[in-house]
A and B are shown apart, each in its own frame.
Chain A
C-alpha cells in the first residue's frame, strides 16, 4: 500500500480523508442519475409517479422490463447496435491497422501531409456531412441499411484508429523488427508476430473506445435509418420521449438495457485504456 503513495503526496491522514471525501462527492454526482434510473425501472407505474417519491422501490417489480421487451423493439435494437458496432470495428481494423503500420514504419513522399490530412479530416463535424452522406447513400441504394451506418461510423473512427495505433507502433523499437527480418520473417509475418502482440494494450484500448463510441452514436442513425430492423438502440430510445405521455417506467427500463452492453465492454477499460491511449495519442 505504502508503495503506491508517492513522496510528494500528502501523507497526513486528515488530508487523505478530505481528498477522498471530495472524490466521493463527485462520485455521487456521477453515479446518481444512473442509480436513480435503475431504481425507477424496478418500480410499478403508480409508484413511479408518486409524490413524495420513494427512494427504494416499495414494490419491487420486473413488469417494466417485461413490457418493454414484449411491446417495444428494444431487443431488436440492441441486436442492431451490436451488428453496427462489430461491423464498424472490423472494417476499421482491416483498413486502419495496415495504414497505421505503414505510417509508422515507412517514409514515402508526402508522408507527413497525408498523415496530417487524415487527422485534419476529423475537423469536419458529422452534422455537416449528414446531407451529403445521405445523397451518397441514396445513390448507392443503401439508405436504411446497416451498410450506411457502418460506412459512416468507419469514417468517424478510421482517422482516430490510424492516429492512435501509429503512436503505439512508433513505440516499438526498430531492433525487434530488424531481428525478426534477419530471422526470415516476411513483412506480414512481422506485423502479426511481433508488432501486434507488442502493441496489444493500445490495440484493446482503441477497440473499447470504438465500441463505446459507435454504440453511442445518434446523429447518423437518426438521419439514415427508419425501420425497426435496422435502428440502433440510441434512436429507438427516442420513441419513449413523447411530450404528451411518457411511461417513465418503460423509458428507464429501456435505458438500463441499453447501457448494459457498453458498460460490460468498457469494464475492461480500466486496465488498458490509461496506458494505451496516452502512449498512442500524446506521444504519437
Chain B
C-alpha cells in the first residue's frame, strides 16, 4: 500500500534531486535545443563563496527569518491565549483573524502594493493626515525600508495559521490541571508558565520549525512585491536562485545556490531540534 506513493515520490523527487547535484557539480553549456554538462567538481561553489550577491541574499533571508518568525509567533501566541479567554464572539473573531491565511501571497501582494502606493496609498495618507509624516514613505521603493515592508506582509500573512495551531493546542489542555493549580494557589503567570507553556511545547516547536523552514525559502512575497529590488535590497536566496536559473539561464550556478539553500535549511532544522532537545533535560 505504501509502494505507489513511494514510487511516485522517488521518481518525482529522486531524479530531479540527482540532476540538481549533477548540475551543481558541472559547467553547463546551453544552446537552443541541447545542453552539455561538463564535470567541474566544486568550482560552482567556489564562485558562490566569492559572490557578494549571494552573501547579500543570505543576509536578507536571515534578516527576514530573524524578524518575521519571532514576531509572528509571539503575535500568534498572544492572539491564541486571548481567543482562549474571551467568552463572546470567539468564532466570529477567529474567522476574521484567519482571513489573511486564505489569501494567496500573490494576491495579497496586489493588495499591499495598493496600500503601500506612494501617491495614492492609504497608509501614507493616514500617516500624513494624523501628522506623523510629511513626505510620503516610499514603502517599496526605498532600499532601506522595502525589507521591512516585506516583513510586515509576511507577518500579516502567516500569523493566523500559527494562531490556529496554537489555539487548537490550548483547547486540548485538560481543565482539571488548571483547577488543581488554582487550589494550590497559583496565580495567572504561574498557570501560564507551569501548565500552559509546557503543554504547548511540542506544538510551539512545530510552529517555529515550520515557519523557519518556510521563511528561509520565502519567494512569493519578494517576487511579487519588490522583485528583489530596489537595488537588490530585498533579494533573498529563493529569488536569487530563480533569477539565475530562469532569467540568466545559469543552470549550473542556480543549482549550486539550491544546494546551498538545502544545506542551510538542514543546518537550521538540526540546530533547532538540538536546542529544543537540550532544553528538555533540565
A residues in contact with B129, CB < 8 Å: 52
Do B178 and A8 touch across chains, with their CB atoms under 8 A apart?
yes
In whole angstroms, how far apart are the Cα atoms of A184 and B101 in the complex? 45
In whole angstroms, how far apart are the Cα atoms of A114 and B223 in the complex? 35
B97 at the A interface (CB under 8 A): yes
B residues in contact with A5, CB < 8 Å: 87
B residues in contact with A202, CB < 8 Å: none
Chain B positions 39-86 with a Cβ under 8 Å from a chain A Cβ: 75, 78-79, 82-86
Closest to B89 in A: A20
A residues in contact with B175, CB < 8 Å: 6-7
In the complex, which of the residues A33, A102, A274 contacts B115, with contact meaning CB atoms closer than 8 Å? A33
Return the CB mask of A25-58 against B: 1 if under 8 Å, else 0.
0110111011011001000000011111100000
B133 at the A interface (CB under 8 A): no
Given A27-B97, A132-B15, A248-B114, 18 other A-B residues pairs in contact with their CB atoms under 8 A: A1-B87, A9-B84, A22-B78, A26-B97, A30-B96, A30-B97, A98-B1, A99-B6, A118-B6, A121-B13, A124-B265, A130-B242, A158-B8, A218-B224, A219-B220, A233-B107, A252-B110, A269-B98
- Selecting from A59-67, A175-183, A234-242, the interface stretch reads A234-242
In whole angstroms, how far apart are the Cα atoms of A280 and B108 in the complex? 29
Q: A127-B217, A259-B103 are in contact. Are A136 and B1 (CB under 8 A)?
A: no
In which size bucket is the chain B interface?
A: 35 or more
In the complex, which of the residues A102, A135, A158, A235 contacts B106, with contact meaning CB atoms closer than 8 Å? A235
A174 at the B interface (CB under 8 A): no
A residues in contact with B23, CB < 8 Å: 131-132
Q: A36-B114, A218-B224 are in contact. Are A128 and B2 (CB under 8 A)?
A: no
B residues in contact with A20, CB < 8 Å: 86, 88-89
Do A248 and B120 touch across chains, with their CB atoms under 8 A apart?
yes
A residues in contact with B165, CB < 8 Å: 277-278, 281
Chain A positions 224-274 with a Cβ under 8 Å from a chain B Cβ: 233-235, 237-238, 240-241, 246, 248, 251-252, 254-255, 258-259, 262-263, 266-267, 269-270, 273-274
In whole angstroms, how far apart are the Cα atoms of A270 and B102 in the complex? 12
A212 at the B interface (CB under 8 A): yes
In the complex, which of the residues A34, A251, A254 contacts B99, with contact meaning CB atoms closer than 8 Å? A34
**By DSSP majority rule, is chain A's interface helix, strand, loop, or mixed?**
helix
Q: A234-B106, A237-B110, A273-B164 are in contact. Are A23 and B12 (CB under 8 A)?
A: no
Do B120 and A155 touch across chains, with their CB atoms under 8 A apart?
no
B residues in contact with A2, CB < 8 Å: 87
Q: A6-B178, A102-B1, A132-B17 are in contact. Are A274 and B258 (CB under 8 A)?
A: no
Least CB distance from A227 to B in Å reads: 17
Total count of chain A residues near the partner, CB < 8 A = 100
A206 at the B interface (CB under 8 A): no
Closest to B100 in A: A30
Return the CB mask of B202-242 against A: 1 if under 8 Å, else 0.
11001000000100110110011000000000000110011
Least CB distance from B18 to A in Å reads: 8
In whole angstroms, how far apart are the Cα atoms of A147 and B102 in the complex? 25
In whole angstroms, how far apart are the Cα atoms of A108 and B3 in the complex? 12
In whole angstroms, how far apart are the Cα atoms of A96 and B1 in the complex? 9
Do B9 and A36 touch across chains, with their CB atoms under 8 A apart?
no
In whole angstroms, how far apart are the Cα atoms of A34 and B111 in the complex? 7
- Selecting from B143-151, B166-174, B274-282, the interface stretch reads B166-174
Can you list 27 residue pairs at the A/B interface with Cβ under 8 Å? A8-B182, A8-B191, A16-B86, A20-B86, A27-B97, A33-B156, A36-B115, A53-B125, A95-B4, A98-B2, A99-B1, A102-B2, A123-B269, A128-B261, A129-B16, A130-B241, A132-B16, A133-B16, A135-B19, A155-B12, A251-B114, A258-B107, A262-B104, A263-B102, A267-B95, A274-B168, A281-B165
In the complex, which of the residues A7, A129, A273 contacts B20, with contact meaning CB atoms closer than 8 Å? A129
In whole angstroms, how far apart are the Cα atoms of A52 and B121 in the complex? 10
In the complex, which of the residues A103, A131, A281 contacts B255, with contact meaning CB atoms closer than 8 Å? A131
Do A125 and B217 touch across chains, with their CB atoms under 8 A apart?
yes
In whole angstroms, how far apart are the Cα atoms of A125 and B216 in the complex? 9
Do A259 and B104 touch across chains, with their CB atoms under 8 A apart?
yes
B residues in contact with A8, CB < 8 Å: 178-179, 181-182, 188, 191
In whole angstroms, how far apart are the Cα atoms of A136 and B251 in the complex? 14
B residues in contact with A237, CB < 8 Å: 106-107, 110, 224
